[in-house]
Structure 1
Amino acid sequence: MTDLYTRHQAVLPEWLALYYEDPIEITHGEGRHVWDADGNKYLDFFGGILTTMTAHALPEVTKAVSEQAGRIIHSSTLYLNRPMVELAERVAQLSGIPDARVFFTTSGTEANDTALLLATAYRQSNQILAMRNSYHGRSFSAVGITGNKGWSPTSLSPLQTLYVHGGVRTRGPYADLDDAAFTDACVEDLKDLLGHVRPPAALIAEPIQGVGGFTTPPDGLYAAFRDVLQQHGVLWIADEVQTGWGRTGEHFWGWQAHAASGPPDMLTFAKGIGNGMSIGGVVARAEIMNCLDSNSISTFGGSPVTMAAGLANLTYLLEHDLQGNARRVGGLLIERLRAVAAQFGGVREVRGRGLMIGIELVRPGTDRANPEGAAAVLEAAREEGLLIGKGGGHDTSVLRIAPPLSLTVAEAEEGASILERALSRAQ
């Protein structure tokens, strides 16, 4: 790949990150496996950043894309679009949001950007509450609410952002508290914050922080937040770009782990629904979605081809109970990885739900992040035939595991064995 890598460096930005010291070109995939340009086969435990949700080259999706492309590829939202209406109907029903309206975009970044536009217009406020260690995309507004400095290249923003405690359970000032006391402390912090500022437009939060290292707050935290927010008229936006569509196993949406106060006012989605096709979107109550008083369209959002892919992919997901598979196989994989981690002093924690698992590495004998160790495990796993991701807060020291939801028990065991060897080599 030296020649292609050299060409990449000559024409693309330096900040466009690549994995591996010797980057690989993935040429094709099938099921839970992909192949590179040199013919090497890999078990894919990252799915193009949680995007290949069901399987690589899923026949039902590729057939739907091919058939739709043979009819018409593009028309824009200026014309009626049957696949878009049909997918919107299904997403609205699945969202749990009453009187829901759906707007399709081309990415999670654009979906979050749209949600911020709606919230600020509806509430007539440019103040946003966001979580520390969060990530919401790469647009100017999205990096302005991202609480992870490694992914937020500028402090300039059209929004005034206030960051809240609670997204990271095992680090920070409340880490030593039990779950109930942790939630109470975060709620009191939120109350104190709201007592010092004019009412913000919304809180945007990932139910499980993705780029931040798959960190999970106690169940019910955002429900407790919601009770406080409603007293001030503040909206709740659930960023489901990584947690949606049953990946966590226990729930179809991440917000359902915090369901005591009902669904969020808005949720954003992307990644997995397209199984690799560019789909994002926002679901909101009609009064919020319809609050804009000027015209708008989406040139590429809701494309007939991507909507056909989304419909086929969602149908396959539901008919094959991939949420249930994520719960069963993911539960086995987490327990297997915890047994592996117990052998290594450099593993601080194995956490996650379903097929959304993080392994946090630290320098042995300390509680300090170990980004070099994470990079070494990433390389060793690739050499053994396994692709994984990485993330984390201030330092990228968390291994991110998020395979397609059709993962088998045998493949889970194979991946865990490779990770065991990779951890041993890196240590």
Structure 2
Amino acid sequence: MSDLYGRHKAVLPDWLALYYEDPLEITHGEGRYVWDANGKQYLDFFGGILTTMTAHALPEITKAVSEQAGRIIHSSTLYLNRPMVELAERVAQLSGIPDARVFFTTSGTEANDTALLLATSYRRSNQILAMRNSYHGRSFSTVGITGNKGWSPTSLSPLQTLYVHGGVRTRGPYADLSDAEFIAACVADLEDLLGHVRPPAALIAEPIQGVGGFTSPPDGLYAAFKRVLEERGILWIADEVQTGWGRTGDHFWGWQAHAENGPPDIITFAKGIGNGMSIGGVVARAEIMNCLDSNSISTFGGTQITMAAGLANLTYLLEHDLQGNARRVGGLLIERLRGVAAQLPGVREVRGRGLMIGIELVKPGTDTADPETAAAVLEAARAEGLLLGKGGGHNTSALRIAPPLSLTVAEAEEGAAILERALRSCVQ
């Protein structure tokens, strides 16, 4: 046990999860690579949980943060804040929501908390529709709507949560249906549920479920849901904490795969926009955002130094077409991994889009999750210099791949080769 690991265990909670039998201390990074305290280099295929969106130590962001730190770091939302206004203007324009207002927070959890406050206040209801296998944060309210028992430590909640089908395409009672039949069955289930309860405030859904193992419904499901919700005045909250900013390649936002009926009423975001700085936020129509009838501020949401980082990061992302890069490089990577998986009975599915790819592992010949093998693959990949993530609603048996969006073809091939060796050595 390292001295740092011992100190960690002595002062931090037991439930604060660490990867690896011998936990890793990352000391610095550059581009798509990081280094540990022993000087070993790793190709980063997880980006600090989808947060290092553009690159490690990106000069444009480092410069913006340094210059802003030399002026002022913080003043709170009680004062006008030029970087916050400028980033809000850009996010509002990119959101697709008409007459949009933006509120900045410090995390995705806090963003979802705010969205729930807005929706329940606007609709005067404490009922929330959520998806099975979902994850929305670690606060009291977001834990209460999370549909993944591995990340929901209590059933106590200020909200009444009703879980609906649709977030996982290849498991559950509708898995054997065609995409069109799957959508029709999920819509029928939603309509049946709504016939038995008072109208909920909102449906909150991740377009691609992050912690759930990068699962998703067929394109168009949430558009079909939205038609049902609109008939009853129920809001749609798109949790874009992991899917936003072009990571899925095909779209800038995950909700755009379900855009037939217009944008969501509320969008939440975080992670990648700050490239490691603590930025979260909510976008909503003005009538929804302004529905609160008491004062509120944020001490740390939208602080100048994080907004400077967000502006520089977003500018770099757009000017270098990292969404297009995610589509091109991610497409090559997923096809490469599907070719490997086809030869391994223990790989149930390779799924995802863009640079958001999941590999679900099972015991060969069954649909039974295999978290032990997933952990072994994580260790084997680390030994060869590749960092991955884990997730899934079935005992974290899915590997999660989400590198910075500037990943090159050569780096994708390097990571795929390491991952192939790790899979072949661990998966039957």
TM-score range, shorter chain: over 0.9
CA–CA distance in 2 between the matches of 1:269 and 1:188? Answer: 29
Do 1:32 and 1:55's aligned partners in 2 also have CA atoms closer than 8 Å? yes
Tell me, what secondary structure is at the counterpart of 2:141? helix
Corresponding residue of 1:94: 94
What CA deviation, in whole Å up to 9, does each residue of 1:365-411 have, x standing for no partner?
21110000100000000001000000000311000000000000000
CA–CA distance in 1 between the matches of 2:366 and 2:200? Answer: 39
Corresponding residue of 1:46: 46
Corresponding residue of 2:191: 191
Structural mapping, 1:53-64, within 5 Å? 53-64=53-64
Corresponding residue of 2:12: 12
Instruction: Tell me by how many angstroms 1:243 deviates.
Output: 0.2
Unaligned runs of 5+ in 1: none
Corresponding residue of 1:145: 145
1:180 maps to amino acid: A
Structural mapping, 1:1-400, within 5 Å? 2-400=2-400
CA–CA distance in 1 between the matches of 2:73 and 2:227? Answer: 45
CA–CA distance in 1 between the matches of 2:365 and 2:225? Answer: 36
What CA deviation, in whole Å up to 9, does each residue of 1:307-334 have, x standing for no partner?
0000000000000000000000000000
Tell me, what secondary structure is at the counterpart of 1:372? helix
1:60 maps to amino acid: E
Tell me, what secondary structure is at the counterpart of 2:145? coil
CA–CA distance in 2 between the matches of 1:337 and 1:171? Answer: 21
Tell me, what secondary structure is at the counterpart of 1:261? coil
CA–CA distance in 2 between the matches of 1:119 and 1:329? Answer: 37
2:320 maps to amino acid: H
Do 1:130 and 1:146's aligned partners in 2 also have CA atoms closer than 8 Å? yes
Instruction: Tell me by how many angstroms 1:352 deviates.
Output: 0.2
1:323 maps to amino acid: Q
CA–CA distance in 1 between the matches of 2:29 and 2:16? Answer: 23
CA–CA distance in 1 between the matches of 2:324 and 2:124? Answer: 41
CA–CA distance in 1 between the matches of 2:168 and 2:345? Answer: 22
Tell me, what secondary structure is at the counterpart of 2:190? helix
CA–CA distance in 1 between the matches of 2:72 and 2:370? Answer: 50
What CA deviation, in whole Å up to 9, does each residue of 1:274-319 have, x standing for no partner?
0000000000000000000000000000010000000000000000
Tell me, what secondary structure is at the counterpart of 1:260? coil
CA–CA distance in 2 between the matches of 1:367 and 1:272? Answer: 33
Tell me, what secondary structure is at the counterpart of 1:367? coil
What CA deviation, in whole Å up to 9, does each residue of 1:47-89 have, x standing for no partner?
0000000000000000000000000011000000000000000
Do 1:100 and 1:285's aligned partners in 2 also have CA atoms closer than 8 Å? yes
Tell me, what secondary structure is at the counterpart of 1:104? strand
Instruction: Tell me by how many angstroms 1:216 deviates.
Output: 1.2
Divergent runs of 4+, >2 A? none
CA–CA distance in 2 between the matches of 1:191 and 1:60? Answer: 49
Give TM-score, length-normalised by structure 1. 1.00
Give TM-score, length-normalised by structure 2. 0.99
Tell me, what secondary structure is at the counterpart of 1:210? coil
Tell me, what secondary structure is at the counterpart of 1:53? coil
Tell me, what secondary structure is at the counterpart of 2:42? strand
The number of residue pairs the alignment matches comes to 427
Do 1:204 and 1:236's aligned partners in 2 also have CA atoms closer than 8 Å? yes
> What's the % identity of the aligned pairs?
88
Do 1:265 and 1:284's aligned partners in 2 also have CA atoms closer than 8 Å? yes
Corresponding residue of 1:420: 420
CA–CA distance in 1 between the matches of 2:355 and 2:417? Answer: 16
2:175 maps to amino acid: A
CA–CA distance in 2 between the matches of 1:27 and 1:395? Answer: 30
2:388 maps to amino acid: I
Corresponding residue of 1:410: 410
Instruction: Tell me by how many angstroms 1:224 deviates.
Output: 0.2
CA–CA distance in 2 between the matches of 1:373 and 1:380? Answer: 10
CA–CA distance in 1 between the matches of 2:223 and 2:366? Answer: 34
Do 1:149 and 1:394's aligned partners in 2 also have CA atoms closer than 8 Å? no
Instruction: Tell me by how many angstroms 1:425 deviates.
Output: 1.6
CA–CA distance in 2 between the matches of 1:17 and 1:395? Answer: 14
CA–CA distance in 1 between the matches of 2:199 and 2:366? Answer: 41
CA–CA distance in 2 between the matches of 1:399 and 1:29? Answer: 22
What CA deviation, in whole Å up to 9, does each residue of 1:78-133 have, x standing for no partner?
00000000000000000000000000000000000000000000000000000000
Instruction: Tell me by how many angstroms 1:345 deviates.
Output: 1.0
Please, which moves more after superposition, 242-251 or 334-343?
334-343
